[in-house]
Amino acid sequence: MLYNLHTHKFSNHPDCLELVNQYPQEFDASIPFYSIGIHPWYIVEDRMEADLAIIEDKIQTANCLAVGECGLDKRIEIPFSLQEQVFRKQLALAEKYQKPVVIHCVASFQELIAIKNDVKITVPMVIHGFSKNEQLAKQLLDNGFYLSFGKYLLRNPELESVFKSVPDNRFFLETDTIEETIEEVYALASKYKAISEEDLQEIVQRNFKNVFKK
């Protein structure tokens, strides 16, 4: 069984559990497993409470495995203070209903760590699409985050050493919005870890069960 930590396209792959990203205003009840959240790119201030109400409703169902993707992004026009407010409200929901969080973070990692420590969140937090260096990876791991790899693992050979440095019990694999398949991500990841794809599948499955209880 393959596990895709984060995708925007539900493929109904028979041998893969896909955690499909959903937005409150575009909810599709036919998707078997999903995360739901307000992405920082799509914050609409006067719709924020309505969106949060939808999220709170949906995360109480068994099909909702996580809150997100949500987070912080310093490279967009939306005011950072508003992003932080929306993010903190979603973390509060994740904590209330004990659901893990799928994180989008761009140029805001120190703020992310500070918020996590400030709210003393106990649920697992996964940085999706990790693409940074070993030093930042270690800092995030030391602060209790999980790291998910996909697009940048395929695109950037320099990520090999970063991926190899992540302990086996702290990573996930994903496709996000890329055209490549989850099988291609697994194939490269098993090559980098120098283990069989079967062993890799067992590692990711164990991590998924630990974090998402699936």
35 and 68 Cβ atoms separated by less than 8 Å? yes
Which region holds residue 137: left if phi is over 0, alpha if psi is between -120 and 50, else beta? Answer: alpha
Phi, psi of 165 (to 5 degrees): -80, -15
Q: Which residue has the tokens 């940074």?
A: 132
Whether 176 has a binding-site annotation, put simply, is yes
Could you give the residue ranges of the DSSP H alpha helices within 101-194? 109-119, 134-142, 151-155, 159-165, 182-193
Whether 8 has a binding-site annotation, put simply, is no
DSSP H or E segment with residue 72: strand 64-73
Q: Which residue has the tokens 């019990």?
A: 169
47 and 26 Cβ atoms separated by less than 8 Å? no
Residues 6+ apart with CB under 8 A from 182: 2, 4, 7, 13, 16, 18, 173, 174, 175
Taking the C-alpha atoms of residue 45 and residue 197, their distance in angstroms, rounded to an integer, is 45
Taking the C-alpha atoms of residue 197 and residue 195, their distance in angstroms, rounded to an integer, is 7
**Annotation: binding site:** 69, 104, 128, 176
**Annotation: binding site for a divalent metal cation:** 69, 104, 128, 176
